[in-house]
Every structure is written in structure tokens, then in C-alpha cells.
Structure 1
Amino acid sequence: MTAAGDTVAVVAAVARLLYSNGLTTERLIETVERLGRACGLTVSVLPAWGEIVLRMEGDSLPGGPVVETVAAAPTGVEMNKVTRTLDIVEAVAAGRMNAGQALAALRAIDRLAPVSLLRAVAMNGAGAVALAIIFGASDPATLLLTGFSACAGGALRRGLAHIAANMLTQPLCAALLAGFVAALTSRLLPDADPYLIALCPCMILVPGPHLLNGALDLARLRIALGVARFSFAGLIILVICTGLIAGLALGRESLPPPGPVVAVPLLFDVLAAGVAVAAYGTFFSMPWRTLGIPIVIGMLAHASRWLALADGTSVAGGAFIACLLVGVIVTPVANRLHLPFAAVAFASVVSLLPGAFLFRLAAGLVTLMNAGETAAPAILVPLVVDATTAAAILLAMAFGLILPKMMLERLFPVWSGVAPATRR
């Protein structure tokens, strides 16, 4: 391959790795354009669902402008791949690596394996148990069964990843297993809380980074890509709900009502939040050396939410305050450490997602369908409440995370870790 061909291949490989592994669209475009300038090229980046169109022109391309269509879909979240790819971009820009060396390094990054099976399964269970504690669980039976269900679901997902190319199969089967375990618990162990045993392993499956990246694209008026990201995330949430309800139905049960609200002490809430963040950092293949950063941020966020709720703030208001804090801290940290903003931010606030309301809404809709024309009007009230509450929390989280990022990168680009040359 010629030197010009190596350069084109490097730009295309960087764009594909960053786009398919969770980097925000805005940062993707800025990074690829910066890499092009370092290689003597002017690069235009047009991302769409399933592909990226790159138009490159410059004196180093003897045949004139080159248009490269790179097949890539933004369906993954691999922090280690993003971090290493951005490090290579920095090395090329600083002149420490030529195009041939960069291309070889990028191919090695593409072959990186996910975290070990043991770590993935163990942290899957630990994250679900931490969420159960945040939601008020304290009895050993509930915590043990929640951890067992989540560990089994994590192992099932890893096994399915090797035999099924469809990305919807993994959350569907894991949610199905969680629902079936909760149904058996309801029949065999009445002292345990089947509601949390069903809920927490499914909360682990919610595709938060895709929702957040979709919201960022809509805020930047990339309507088509934002809608596509939301549709992908919504489809995953739909199959999670379907799997959960089907698993409960296999055990001839429906989603049990939540128990009474239990006030969790601040210390327990904060420590459990740290464990949940560590679990999500594992799911996103975050290196151990950087995992402590989102853990600390997530603990601070949960402390602020706990204090806000104790002061009488609504659930949506508490989520907004916590996410606002996370957005202010994560924006400079993610940019300077070459981490995907959406993955770090979501990992820090995962337990704030209204998964409980969404799953109850899905179960309530099934109940309404089964009742048919004989359904009592009172069935609609909890459905409306759950839907409205879920929407309010999602909007509060989106605004809380996105507004600080956009404002800080616009007003204080250097402080935010964004090079002045890339400021828009």
C-alpha cells in the first residue's frame, strides 16, 4: 500500500473505531478532522446509521479527492478501544508515529478482546446487588437471588455473543431469565422481594449511552442520527420488557407490585452507587487504571441526589441535580483522559434511570390488554403516572448531562479539554 493509501486507511480506521465504540458524534468529527490536518488532508465527516462517509482532499493525494464509505454502526461501547485510538491520534498529530505504524496499531486495537468472563459475570452480579441496595433491599435472600440472577444473565449474554450476531438476542434472553427467576422466587420464597429480583438484573441491561448519545445528536440538530440512536435504544428497552414479562409468564406470574419505600442511609446509598458504577465501567471495558474516576463522580452524584430528596425535592428534580453535577465534572475529565463522555456520564448515574417505571408501564399495558373492554378505568391511572414520571426523569437526566457539556465546551474550550482549533 502506498503512503497516501496508508493515510486514507488510518483516517478510515480511526473513524470506524471511534464511531462504533461510543464516542459522541461531535467529538468524532473533531478528532477525525484534526487527524486529517495532521496528515495534510482536509476531511469532511458525514456520519449516518450504518456508515460514515469521509471526503478527503489534499496535496498528498495524487489522484485528487477521495471519498471513502466506511461501514460502521454506533452500537458498541468499548472505552479501552476509544482511549487507545485517541492516543494514536495524538501520537500521529505530534509526529511520533507515521501512517504505517498507526495502521498496524489500529488493527491491534480492533482485535482487543472484551473484559474477562469472570470479571464480567462477577461485576454483573455486584452491580445488580448494588442497585437492589439503592432501591431499599436489605434481606440476604433478595440480595443473593438478585446477584445469582444477574450473574447467570451475564454469563448467558457472553455465551450468546459468540453464537448470535443479532444484538437484541442477548438482552432478551437475560431479561427472560431474570423474569423466570423472579417468578420462581415469588412461589418458593415469599419472604424475598420478587419485584427487586426482577427489576435489578434488567436495569443492568438498559442502553444508557445510546440514549445519551442520541440526545446529544438531537441537541446538535443531527435529527436523523439522533432518531436512529433513540430507535436502537428503544428497541433494546422493548425487548428487555418483553423478556421480563415473558419470563414471569413462564412461571405463571406477573410483575409484582413494589414494596413500601425504604429510606436508605446516605453511606449505604453512596457506597452502593460506587459498586454500580464499577460494574458499568466493566461492561464498557474501562481499564482498571481509570475506573476510580467515574466511581468517585458517581458517589458524589448520589450523595447530591440523596440530600436533594431528603430536602423534599421531587424524583425528577433530584435526578437533574445529580446529572448536572456529573455533566460539569465529566466534561473536562472525559475530554482530557480520552474517554467517551456518554459511557462515563451514564455509568455515574445509572441507578437514576426510571427502569422501574418503564417495566411497570410495560406490565400494566399487558394487564390492560388482557382485561380488554372490561378493564376498569382505574387501571389507566398508574399507567399514566408511570409514563409521566419516566418521561420527566429521562428529560431531567438528559438536560442535566447535556447542558453543562455543551456550555462548557463552547464557553471554556481549553478548560474543558477541547483544543481551541476544534471549537465550533
Structure 2
Amino acid sequence: MDPSHREAALKTTALAATLLFAHGQTTERTVIAAERLGRALGITVRVLPYWGEITVEIEGTPISQIVPAKPLGVDMGRVLAVTTVIDQVCDGTLPSDAAHSALISASRLPPASTARFTLFAALGAASLGVIFGALEATILLLIAASAAIGALARRWLSGFSANPLVQPLCAALIAGIVAAAAGRSGLPAISLVAFCPCMVLVPGPHILNGAIDLARTRMALGIARLAYAAVIVVLICAGLLCGFAAVGAELATTGSTRPVPLAVDVIAAGCAVASFGAFFSMPWLLLPFPIAVGMFAHAVRWALVVVAGESAATGTLVSCMLVGIIVTPVVDRLHLPFAALAFSAVVSMMPGFFLFNAAAGLVELVSIGPSAPASLLTGIAANGVTAFLIIMAMTVGLILPRMLFDRFSSARQQSR
């Protein structure tokens, strides 16, 4: 192979790896897809992803390319477009010299429109309000309006700053201001008005991708992903509490929510799944699948928690394992990012209510000081531990089928 062709093939392979990595594909699938593309282009490469860059090396030579890449976003439309280009090159339906320009076109696909993004942010936040027991029309409209304003602010800020931390901070600040103002007006369920618009900001795919990297012993990358997700959660809490402080109010902790009827719970879960499909720029034709899976999973969780009397963590673990079993072969078949699709299906199970309750309790503890009642301390501990257990249950439940499926697929390929 002449040097110019080898250099072009390396450049194309590095571009494909960068696009997949930056838009939410799991690290393992990014490496597999890029190495597969390299072979189709006539080179054998090793792909080494790190936080901040990807190194693509041609095996047996000192030739390599280092490209900047940070896995900050989730865009299923772009991931699908990139994997389609890779499939076409590998199948011979797309000429090798046209692959680079096709990947550039895939990288320029627009995200979900502002109208869709805003509408589904409002729908998702209101749906989470229903799941947590807010059935009053006034409260749901207020939750939806707060989330819609936050979504518009996020899109507006994206045109001024590429920093991904600014958007959730400002959206949470808006949610805090709206909830605090509503509380001064005497409206009930203010905690849900504050929490629900913030729950749609929780970076679930980054948590799952980080956990998968840790499970595959990519320790540095996994820790970096989880640290990024943790920073976003901290900023969401900070923005929410600052919003209350700006209005001169305090966000008090609230008790556990009452369960809603099964039909209401399942329909609301489906709406929440649809909203996150919009956040992740999921093509419309793919949206029914995660909605159906999410509704099924939530029905299972509702039966385990409400009927069988199991804990929220146990119900979440079983439901997420079922989602992982159903979703894993589908995402491999369609070359979709596992973390984004799986998280979309179980987003309504995220323990945002407990996380934000614990944060509110900590602020209340600091303001009261040594005279704080013991019940406040136990409430903070209970909310924090519950949130941790549910997150662990979601993570293990989703990635365990993923890991087992990969192990089975590798063993089957080796036997062949």
C-alpha cells in the first residue's frame, strides 16, 4: 500500500472512532467498529481511547494518529449515521475514497430541533411528576413550564458556550427559581416542582458508559466518565439550591411519594422514555422500541414494589436486567449506542428524587447547625443510601446482560 493511501485510511479510521466516541457509543463498540473499518480500508489498526484523545496506531509500524476527543455528548442519530457508513464501506457498497466525506456529512447531522427538544423536556418532566405522585393539573403544568424554559435556556446557551457544564447548572437554577416562587404563592408539592425538571438533566448514559469501562478494566477512562457525571449532578444540585436562595426561600426535604395506579405509572413511563429519545436525537422510527421496553420494565417494577412489597432497589434491579436482556441484541443489530438506548428505557427509575432530597437535607443541616434533629440526619442518610443502591441496581442490571452477551458472542466466534 502506498503511503498516501495508508495515511488517508488512517485519517478516515480515526475520524470514525472520534465521532462514535464523542457521541455516546460504548468504548468497546467504538474500538470494534473502528478496527473493522480499518481492515476494510486495507490497514490493521489498534484503537486506544482515553479521556480527551484517541490514538489510532497501524500495527507493525510506528505510524499513528492522535485526535482530540471527549465523550461529552449523546447523539444517537449521528452514531447510527457513522455506523451506517462503516457498514457500507465494509460491504463494498460505498467506495473507500468516499468514506471520509460521508463521515463528515454524518458529523454534521443536526440534533433534535429546538421545538422537539423543548416539548419533550416539558413532557418528560411532567411524566416524572406523575410517576412520583403529582396528579394535580396545576402542579404538572408548572413542572412542564419550568422544564420547557430550562430546555430553551440550554439551547440558547449552547450557541454561546461549548462548555457542557453550563447548561445543566442554568436549567437547574431556573427550576429552583420557579419552584421557590410557586412556594411563596402557596402551591403544594413544591419539592416535585423543583426536582422533576432537574431529573431530566441527570447524565445517565455517562454513568452507564463509565461503569462499563470499569467492568472492562479501562479504569482511567471509566473513572473519568463517572467523575464527569458526578460533576454534572453536583452542579444540578447547586443550581437548584441557588435558585431557591435567589428568591429567599429554602428547599425543605419531603417524605416518600405515594404510588400511582399501574396504568398511569406505565403511560407516564412511556412518555418519559420518549422525552429522552428526543434529548439523545433518536430517529423517530426507532422511538417505539425503547418506549415499549420502558413501559414493560416499569410495569414489572410497579408489580414488584407495590404488589410484592419488594424494595425500590430490588424492583429496579430486576426491571433493568430485563431491559438489558431485551435491548442488548437490538443495539448490536442496529449498531446503536447501548448506554443511550438502555438509559432511555429506564430513565423514570433514576433516583433523582432521593438525590435532590439528600442535597436539600444537607443544606438544611448546615443552616440549623448542631441543634439539628436526629430525624434530619437519618433522612439524609436514608435518601443518600437509597439513591446509591438504586443507581447500583440500574448499573448492574443493565450492564450485566451486556457483558454476558459480549462474552457469549466472543466465545461463539472463536468456536467458529
Output the TM-score relative to the length of structure 2.
Answer: 0.96
2:160 matches 1:163: yes
CA distance in 1, matches of 2:91, 2:298: 39
2:147 matches 1:150: yes
Instruction: Check conservation: 1:30, 1:422, Cα contact below 8 A.
Output: no
Q: Percent of pairs identical after alignment?
A: 47
**Which of 169, 175, 178 is the equivalent residue of 2:175?**
178
Query: Which residue in the other structure is 2:252 paired with?
Result: 256
Instruction: Check conservation: 1:34, 1:422, Cα contact below 8 A.
Output: no
**What's the CA shift for 1:376?**
3.7
**What's the CA shift for 1:422?**
12
Query: Which residue in the other structure is 1:98 paired with?
Result: 95
- The 1:122/1:202 distance shift into structure 2, 3 A limit, reads same
Residue type of the alignment partner of 2:31: I
- The 1:94/1:206 distance shift into structure 2, 3 A limit, reads same
**What's the CA shift for 1:100?**
2.1
2:416 matches 1:420: no
CA distance in 1, matches of 2:365, 2:261: 37
Query: Which residue in the other structure is 2:21 paired with?
Result: 19
3-state SS of 2:57 partner: strand
Instruction: Check conservation: 1:120, 1:154, Cα contact below 8 A.
Output: yes
Runs (5+) with no aligned partner, structure 1: 59-63
CA distance in 1, matches of 2:199, 2:233: 10
Instruction: Check conservation: 2:146, 2:178, Cα contact below 8 A.
Output: yes
Query: Which residue in the other structure is 2:208 paired with?
Result: 212
**Which of 4, 7, 11 is the equivalent residue of 1:5?**
7
**What's the CA shift for 1:24?**
0.5
Query: Which residue in the other structure is 1:380 paired with?
Result: 377
**Which of 390, 396, 402 is the equivalent residue of 1:399?**
396
Query: Which residue in the other structure is 2:367 paired with?
Result: 370
How many pairs does the alignment contain?
413
**What's the CA shift for 1:420?**
3.2
**What's the CA shift for 1:354?**
1.0
Query: Which residue in the other structure is 1:281 paired with?
Result: 277
2:245 matches 1:243: no
- Report Cα offsets for 1:187-239 as digits up to 9, x if no partner: 1142x421111011000000000000000011111111110000000000000
3-state SS of 1:256 partner: coil
The farther-off stretch of 297-306 and 250-259 is: 250-259
Runs (5+) with no aligned partner, structure 2: none
- Report Cα offsets for 1:149-177 as digits up to 9, x if no partner: 00000000000000112111100000000
2:82 matches 1:85: yes
3-state SS of 2:287 partner: helix
CA distance in 2, matches of 1:93, 1:411: 24
CA distance in 2, matches of 1:85, 1:341: 15
**Which of 302, 307, 311 is the equivalent residue of 1:306?**
302
Instruction: Check conservation: 1:176, 1:245, Cα contact below 8 A.
Output: yes
**What's the CA shift for 1:123?**
0.4
CA-atom RMSD, angstroms? 1.8
- The 1:384/1:260 distance shift into structure 2, 3 A limit, reads closer
**What's the CA shift for 1:185?**
0.8
The farther-off stretch of 30-39 and 173-182 is: 30-39
**What's the CA shift for 1:370?**
2.1
- Report Cα offsets for 1:263-321 as digits up to 9, x if no partner: 21111111111110010000000000111111111011101101111211100001001
Query: Which residue in the other structure is 1:61 paired with?
Result: none
Query: Which residue in the other structure is 1:228 paired with?
Result: 224
**What's the CA shift for 1:413?**
5.6
**What's the CA shift for 1:374?**
3.6
CA distance in 1, matches of 2:375, 2:360: 15
Residue type of the alignment partner of 2:8: D
Residue type of the alignment partner of 1:155: L
**Which of 296, 301, 321 is the equivalent residue of 2:292?**
296
Query: Which residue in the other structure is 1:353 paired with?
Result: 350
2:136 matches 1:139: yes
Output the TM-score relative to the length of structure 1.
Answer: 0.94
- Report Cα offsets for 1:95-136 as digits up to 9, x if no partner: 112232111111111111111111000000000011111111
- Report Cα offsets for 1:296-354 as digits up to 9, x if no partner: 11011101101111211100001001100100001001110111000000011111111
3-state SS of 2:47 partner: strand
CA distance in 2, matches of 1:212, 1:178: 26
CA distance in 2, matches of 1:260, 1:13: 48
Instruction: Check conservation: 2:57, 2:64, Cα contact below 8 A.
Output: yes
Query: Which residue in the other structure is 1:203 paired with?
Result: 199
**What's the CA shift for 1:65?**
4.0
Instruction: Check conservation: 2:253, 2:360, Cα contact below 8 A.
Output: no
CA distance in 2, matches of 1:364, 1:107: 48
